[in-house]
Amino acid sequence: MAKLILLLLNWIFLCCNVAAVFEDQVGKFDWRQQYVGKVRFSHFDSHMQSSKKVLLASESNVFAALNTRTGELFWRHVDKTGPEGNIDALLQHGQDAVLVIGNGHLLRSWDIGVGGMNWEMVLDPGSFRSACLVGHQGAVKHLAVLKKTVISLHYLSNGHQKWVENLPESETVDFQAVYSGGNGEVYALGVVPNSHLAIVVYSLEDGEITKQVSVEAPWLSSIPASCSVISRGLLTCVDSTTMSLYTLDLHLQLEMTQIPLQTLGLDVDPGFRPSLVSHQPNPAHPPLSEFLLQLGPEHHLLLQHNDGQIVTLRDYKPALLASFATAGEKTVVAVMAPKNKTACSINLFSAETGRRLLETTLIFTVDPNGGKPEKLHVQAFLKKDDSVGYRVMVQTEDHTLTFIQQPGRVMWTREEALSDVVTMEMVDLPLTGAQAELEGEFGKKADGLMSMVMKRLSSQLIMLQAWIAHLWKLFYDARKPRSQVKNDVSIENLSRDEFNLQKMMVLVTASGKLFGIDSKTGDILWKHYLENIPLNAAFKLMVQRTTAHFPHPPQCTLLIKDKDTGLATLHVFNPIFGRRSQVTPPALPQPILQSLLLPLMDQDYAKVLLLVDDQYKVSAFPSTKNVLQQLQETASSIFFYLADSGQGRLSGYRLRTDLSTEQVWEVVIPTETQKIVSIKGKRSNEHVHSQGRVMGDRSVLYKYLNPNLLAVVTESTDLHQERSFIGILLIDGVTGRIIHEAVQRKARGPVHVVHSENWVVYEYWSTKSRRNEFSVIELYEGMDLYNSTVFSSLDRPHAPQVLQQSYIFPSSISTMEATLTEKGITSRHLLVGLPSGGILSLPKMFLDPRRPEVISEQSREENLIPYAPELIIRTEWFINYNQTVSRVRGIYTAPSGLESTCLVVAYGLDIYHTRVYPSKQFDVLKDDYDYMLISSVLFALFFATMISKRLAEVKLLNRAWR
């Protein structure tokens, strides 16, 4: 019987928590965007005339094919992160694309048509140097892979090794390049830096060394950086110190021929390292005898090797980028030249003659909020009249791909920077004009009764006007078929909806590009590229002023900090339009240790940002007189903490009236045994609705709601599975008082922590049981509240009761966050990002240390679920159904205007946005709510009462007559 009840209980809980989507709701409230990452290699599929594919291999270890018409993904393969999945080379031939992965660990061949894998080979260990396709007698059947000590040849059809040979003298010679010109020989080129060049020639058939020479080259240090093979095996190098070109015929010569650049009438820009680009359209044939030489940032040359002579075919100056492309038998050079500040022009030139092809100009408009063009990927094709047409894919510094067709029509753009979102915020959209008008009226100061009445009347009139216009639009739209009604979203007509469900997502990416995305549709509404962002920058985004303070524009501040030097800069902008704000941020000459956003506001309703530098001096932004005065008044109640994980030191400071600080507490965790890995406070915009929990016997257990509480997680330095542990410290950030200290023995990181309300949930790896476990800590004040009106860390002498319970979780996790709603009435869920790409909405009810081991009447009264050691993943808890989110790195939650609804954004390689309803939509009528039925029933009842009343009257009359 007990089990039946248990089952029933479980079933009821399940019913309460089912949050699945109906089929017709797919994509209605959610959207997903998939990205590739910064492109490292790209190939246009040219083996078919009508092909519309471009292959991309990215620095995020992603290999994908895009549709060149729309920019959408055909297919995508996401490999491991880190050096293990690093894509070293991409070689394409016909229908096959071969990738070298993980520093020469794996060789994989893909069918580019469907994106399926043909074969995979594990290569011998050794660090990867170079790879090339090897053709012979017009057919390409092999592929050569050069590693530090060995060279191997593989069949393109199945990946099997044809032969593998050790490289001679590989201890001294650094082999860097491999080349094949389609004549049955494979050349391995190595260098002894600043001494000589080593060339080893292998026979294609059996891998026998047919020739081995070494050539004096004291100026050479790196082959890929300065050399290239052109024509029939002519190694050509450029050197900036001697200002010369060097050529060497790999078949005949034993010495390099020096051709000073001056004899060609050329000059290298000072401080520029020149580079050479050759082009081999077909691996079965030798490369072209033409090559590109870059002599300066804006100086390119097309040169030709002709009978032992180097001749200049064309001098491109100024030219930002130049690139070869082949269509059929014709090879062209596409050159991008700056036209004016906002545009570049791209032209095609015949590679053979250097002549400009007519009617091939294409205009590329440079986005003023984007980066400079960095790479040019050209897709050339033959038109019907046998002339060459082309499209280009321009890659800019901000990782954007723009695909352009003649004469400059942008077919699509992809913002690949969004594959690496670092931090984000959601900002309310501004009110509509009419609403703003009304708000503005209240904001203004009163000046007489009459004028106020007039103002009120005029604003009411404006609202009426707006309402009529709205009605008219509704009526007009209703007559049109639904498909034609378009919801054009642009920055100008953005306004808050009734329930504040549509918001502006402000995303900060690692490349330093900021985006403003409409949360309803996922459209990018603005973008802004910040130049000169250090590589290891840390970002912190803060909303200083929300949209609630019309007519003051909303204001966001981005703190960009160089992790090495600690030096920081501030970027202040309007989150709705993305424009840099008028306010000039203060210059920060000192390294910044900590930043904190105070609830204090200046006279313009901007929250005060305090920045603490390494001298423990505090500067405020904005730093108006008003702010400084407020700071002086409240200084004694402003506390902050600093954490130095290197020394294990946590210290608390108090602000003084002269904006200096004094240290008030210090906690030191010895670094010999453990190190601090994360510190989590609570979110400042979190509301807790109920101060306590009603127990089974109708008494109240009060929650310990300390807004200053910090959860500090430490990991042991000893990683032995018996001795490793993780520590959880709950510290009051104001007084430094250690509220609770616990160790989870035989556990290891990575630890994911969520800290909210009166609970901390963390997830770790149990080394003893080899599984992932969740643990929850809840803090309670007890049966009576110390001071129910206000919480002060300085006046809470009794330590809270601490309850803790742990559970087994059947999967590892990538990230974790808790849902957040407007008033905190809705029950909480944990949103768990799994490595499988699912986002699980786990009810907090299951992570409750008060779950009883033995069911009693009281616990049943309280709706506690009986304790079960395992948390089960139910498929209906996945909020993103089949929309996998690859490599989730973070989940952001924001409250909406509806108490039941929480907005969720999961970001990683992909971006996914949806809404969740942790307690179902208790404040919303369903989509398919039958207004018709309810109103017809009402009307029917109304008429029925009318008729029956009449009938009753008639009956009464008749009876009276009788």
The site for another protein (CB under 8 A) is made up of 2-3, 636, 654, 656, 662-670, 673-674, 725, 727-728, 731, 735-738, 740-745, 766, 768-769, 773, 775, 777, 787, 794-797, 804-808, 853-854, 867-870
Residue keyed to tokens 């048509």? 113
**Nearest approach, Cβ of residue 782 and another protein (Å):** 15
**Nearest approach, Cβ of residue 12 and another protein (Å):** 20
Nearer to another protein, 696 or 866 (CB): 866
Alpha-carbon span 178 to 333, nearest angstrom: 25
Contact 202, 185 (CB under 8 A): yes
Residue keyed to tokens 């966001």? 556
Q: Show the tokens assigned to 46.
A: 């040219």
**Nearest approach, Cβ of residue 743 and another protein (Å):** 5
Question: Pairing relation of β-strands 700-703 and 692-694?
Answer: antiparallel
Look up residue 720 and give its amino acid: H
Alpha-carbon span 17 to 460, nearest angstrom: 45
Beta bridge partners of 315: 301
**Nearest approach, Cβ of residue 725 and another protein (Å):** 7
**Nearest approach, Cβ of residue 848 and another protein (Å):** 14
For the residues of 900-928, what is the DSSP string, one character each? T-EEEEEESSSEEEEEE-TT--TTS--TT
**Nearest approach, Cβ of residue 598 and another protein (Å):** 20
Nearer to another protein, 10 or 673 (CB): 673
**Nearest approach, Cβ of residue 940 and another protein (Å):** 20
Alpha-carbon span 763 to 938, nearest angstrom: 54
Count of CA atoms in the C-beta half-sphere (13 A) of 600? 23
**Nearest approach, Cβ of residue 670 and another protein (Å):** 5
Q: How far is CA 692 from CA 236, 677, 783, in A?
A: 79, 31, 9
Nearer to another protein, 481 or 797 (CB): 797
Nearer to another protein, 594 or 651 (CB): 651
Nearer to another protein, 345 or 805 (CB): 805
Nearer to another protein, 79 or 848 (CB): 848
**Nearest approach, Cβ of residue 723 and another protein (Å):** 10
Nearer to another protein, 440 or 782 (CB): 782
Nearer to another protein, 410 or 743 (CB): 743
Angle separating helix axes 433-443 and 449-479, nearest 10 degrees: 170
**Nearest approach, Cβ of residue 737 and another protein (Å):** 4
Alpha-carbon span 658 to 663, nearest angstrom: 15
Alpha-carbon span 245 to 217, nearest angstrom: 12
Alpha-carbon span 621 to 606, nearest angstrom: 9
Which distant-in-sequence residues (6+ apart) come within 8 Å of 226 by Cβ?
Answer: 220, 237, 238, 239, 273, 274, 275, 276
Closest of 351, 396, 346, 391 to residue 371, by C-alpha: 396
**Nearest approach, Cβ of residue 794 and another protein (Å):** 6
Q: How is residue 866 annotated by DSSP?
A: P
**Nearest approach, Cβ of residue 838 and another protein (Å):** 22
Nearer to another protein, 210 or 636 (CB): 636
Look up residue 730 and give its amino acid: L
Alpha-carbon span 613 to 308, nearest angstrom: 64
Nearer to another protein, 291 or 809 (CB): 809
Alpha-carbon span 196 to 199, nearest angstrom: 10
Nearer to another protein, 164 or 635 (CB): 635
Residue keyed to tokens 């001697």? 242
3-state SS string for 47-108: CCCCCCEEEEEECCCEEEEEECCCCCEEEEEECCCCHHHCEEEEEEECCEEEEEECCCCEEE
598, exposed or middle or buried, with CB in 10 Å at 0-12, 13-18, 19+?
Answer: middle
- Within a 10 A sphere around the Cβ of 157, how many other Cβ atoms? 12
Nearer to another protein, 300 or 740 (CB): 740
**Nearest approach, Cβ of residue 891 and another protein (Å):** 25
**Nearest approach, Cβ of residue 276 and another protein (Å):** 59
Nearer to another protein, 408 or 866 (CB): 866
Closest of 881, 910, 870, 907 to residue 892, by C-alpha: 907
Alpha-carbon span 595 to 471, nearest angstrom: 48
- Residue length of the chain: 962
Sheet arrangement for strand 87-93: 87-93, 96-101, 106-111, 117-122
Nearer to another protein, 345 or 793 (CB): 793
**Nearest approach, Cβ of residue 738 and another protein (Å):** 5
Nearer to another protein, 263 or 636 (CB): 636
Look up residue 345 and give its amino acid: S
Sheet arrangement for strand 568-573: 537-545, 555-562, 568-573
Nearer to another protein, 344 or 753 (CB): 753
Beta bridge partners of 513: 529
φ/ψ region of 459 (left if φ > 0, alpha if ψ in -120 to 50, else beta) reads alpha
**Nearest approach, Cβ of residue 768 and another protein (Å):** 8
